[in-house]
Chains A and B, each alone.
Chain A
């Protein structure tokens, strides 16, 4: 122990000799762009302290210096794999601020693009979940199959990943010719393909024995800790914003909300997969009900302004509820844009779930929370 007095505010940490502190991340194959400070006693985790903020980029502050149109391409950056859904609440909010009514056809195309993008995101998430558990085939298959929808989105939007497709007032451009035929063929093949994942991954006895009862989150705790999305639905709470607060064309579609009662890692990893199957149904319904022709966009003024107003809109993204709060002060730029993301809310329960778990369960519990480090940091 050093004799020099410590600067105010600092203290020497007292750690038991048996406890080993591991810095999992940010440069670690089993963390995202974040650090988890894990204290282990033998093989058991005594304490886990997630430390997000490694990839903070100040998206919200940047939004204050750009006008409503310029904000479109950079506000989708938090999760580029789910870029349509990330941009969705912003577009809805700006539309309400400016008092625009979106054309009917654009609403359905938004639903289709958003569901396609949800599948693309979940496939990526599932690929990483597979490799976190040491299942390399489950890394390659989803990563390959998501190309199917990425190609489809590229045909629709012109970009593979960062689409910037939704704009206040509708969508940027109309879908290509022969769109419905192309889309339905892909959806049918995709559905057939992801059903095969059950045989190699979800029904795998080793996977079940490993992730069953790992990181169990009860229904009460899930509600109390404010989790959302697949984490909440895996704990048996029937909550999906597409059904509870339908936006755009979702109110006219028949959507089944997938819930499981167990609340463990296995259930949390299965809910997104069930969501993908449900997305295929939603896309089919949307294609059927979509108006076959018509305008897809309301033209805005070059530099739109709104009055002193504020608006909060939220949608169901791949990681749960994603809200956008926009404050307008009669200027061309928004006064404040605040994004409330599902990832950060799901991260809160991680220390509770990891306490007392085995070290081998850490990746399984961590990634099953459907947490995306880049989105949480914004």
Chain B
């Protein structure tokens, strides 16, 4: 008898398998098949190559990779792909997850320690996943006197708003943006304006003292730093004459605006740190004063959602900085072209030759754009993370002093520089550059 499973009997095991299989087959035939039939009846099946997508065709498509290519290509044209995968949520969430990992490892190196190390064998690469599972498995505790609907809604709204912000950031030329609005920059600021509201709602609805103080602090901080944030962007708008983010990037193919507007870039960066509640401006979450600020009462996955939202926000802000000042996706062509041999001859795998007409899936230009965009965004994210290892937390009165006295003044200087460049005829619609 095994000591690991002392009550194990092979006959019981086989009986349990056959029992389960019997019920599975029975339920599938009685409920599953009619259900699938009903769905197929109402569903409008796609037509591929003048043929209706019947089960036989679907199976051949699964088996033959060359037939999948047009399907994948048509999928990639859809709005769903843009929202869920590439310039939208999936891409941003992947970068956000990478950001958390890099932040922890980089901070550890700075502080002469190892950081996440054991989970996932290679330098603790699965630590994030295990943290996520831990958060999922935790009980969600809601304070007894909390305003429950709003308290529940706050983390979801936070992630939703952050995802809406992500959707406005263009990642590559050729319409690789979820929402290509003509008033893109205005929409960005409209969305940023929601964050303090959500923060205060969640803080107030928790009906607890420390979240309340944290929420009020967040309100002060975000509202007073939104003004320099908007004013510092005005320089770019004056130079380009458009609010469309894609057009702003296209105007920077020769010169990045950070060359002409360094003050605006610095002001934007500092205001961005404050909006993101990063150290040295993490007052709403100041641990030693107000426990965890407005996050104090969140537990389990509610806290996880807020963290996800704040890292999505971090990616979106870094992307916005790249789009406005660092030329977005513009950069020299370094992505190698797709090998012509594979298009012509296919891939030879021993006796079998796989022919894949319709390759490549993505053109070289788009991949090159994405590469440059990611490189620049990661660079900006690195500089957003770096102050955490170097600076202590600032105090609220000093923070407001910086916001209202220094940054607003500097952003007006930036506007005057932009206006001077336009009126001197250096830049702008009729400029010499």
A in complex with B? yes
State the A residues within 8 Å of B (CB).
20, 22, 28-30, 43, 130-141, 144, 200-201, 204, 206-207, 209-210, 358-363
Contact of B209 among A22, A138, A200, A201 (CB under 8 A): A22
Taking a contact as CB atoms closer than 8 A, the residue among B113, B288, B396 that contacts A134 in the complex is: B288
In the complex, which of the residues A22, A133, A207 contacts B288, with contact meaning CB atoms closer than 8 Å?
Answer: A133
What is the CB-to-nearest-CB distance from B109 to chain A, in angstroms, rounded to a whole number? Answer: 11
- Chain B residues at the A interface, C-beta cutoff of 8 Å: 107, 110-113, 209-210, 213, 279-280, 282-283, 286-291, 388-398
**Which residues of the partner chain A approach B392 to less than 8 Å between Cβ atoms?**
130, 133-135, 138, 201, 204, 206-207, 210
- The interface residues of chain A lying within 8 Å CB-to-CB of B398 are 209-210
| CB closest residue in chain B, given A42 | B216
How distant is the Cα of A200 from the Cα of B398 in the complex, in angstroms?
20
Partner of B397, one of A133, A139, A207, A358: A358
8 A-B pairs (CB sep. < 8 Å): A20-B209, A20-B213, A22-B209, A29-B288, A43-B396, A130-B392, A135-B392, A136-B107
Contact A360 B286 (CB under 8 A): yes
CB distance from A376 to the nearest CB of B (A): 19
Q: In the bound complex, what is the Cα–Cα distance between A167 and B388 (angstroms)?
A: 45
* Least CB distance, B229 to chain A, in whole angstroms: 21
CB-CB < 8 A to A362: which residues of B?
A: 289
Given A141-B111, A360-B395: A136 and B291 interface contact (C-beta under 8 Å): no
B388 and A133 contacting across the interface, CB-CB below 8 Å:
no
Structural contact, A134 and B107, CB atoms closer than 8 A: no
**DSSP majority for the B interface?**
helix
Contact A134 B393 (CB under 8 A): yes
Q: Which residues of B contact A204 (CB under 8 A)?
A: 390-392
**Distance of A265 from chain B, by nearest CB (Å):** 12
Closest to A138 in B: B392
Q: Is the CB of A360 within 8 A of B283?
A: yes
How far apart are the CA atoms of A312 and B280 in the complex, in Å? 48
- Tell whether A144 pairs with B391 under 8 Å between CB atoms, given A29-B288, A206-B280: no
Q: How far apart are B232's CB and chain A's nearest CB, in angstroms?
A: 21
Contact A140 B111 (CB under 8 A): yes
Contact for B395 among A28, A130, A136, A210, CB less than 8 A: A210
B204 to chain A, nearest CB (A): 14
Complexed CA–CA distance, A130 and B112 (Å): 16
Asked if B111 contacts A136 (CB within 8 A), the reply is: yes
Residues on A with beta carbons closer than 8 Å to the beta carbon of B111: 136-137, 139-141, 144
Query: Which residues on B sit within 8 Å (CB–CB) of A22?
Result: 209-210
Distance of A162 Cα from B282 Cα, bound (Å): 37
- Cα distance A141–B210 when bound, in Å? 30
A209 CA / B291 CA spacing, docked (Å): 23
The distance from the CB of B413 to the nearest CB of chain A, in whole angstroms, is 21
| Nearest 6 A/B pairs, CB to CB | A134-B393, A30-B288, A140-B111, A135-B392, A133-B392, A360-B395
**Are B389 and A136 touching (Cβ within 8 A)?**
yes
Please determine whether B112 and A200 come into contact, CB atoms closer than 8 angstroms.
no
CA distance A134 to B390 in the complex (A): 10
Which of B209, B288, B390, B393 is in CB contact (< 8 Å) with A137?
A: B390
Interface contact A29-B287, CB-CB below 8 Å: yes
Given contacts A30-B289, A136-B389, contact A141 B107 (CB under 8 A): no
B280 to chain A, nearest CB (A): 5
The smallest C-beta distance from A364 to any residue of chain B, in angstroms, reads 9
- Residues in chain A near residue B391, CB distance under 8 A: 134-135, 204, 206
Q: Which residues of A contact B388 (CB under 8 A)?
A: 136
Our pick among B113, B291, B396 for the contact of A360 (Cβ within 8 Å) is: B396
- Distance A29 CA – B112 CA, assembled complex (angstroms): 23
Q: Is the pair B110, A137 in contact by a Cβ cutoff of 8 Å?
A: yes
- Whole-angstrom CA separation of A22 from B287 in the bound complex: 15
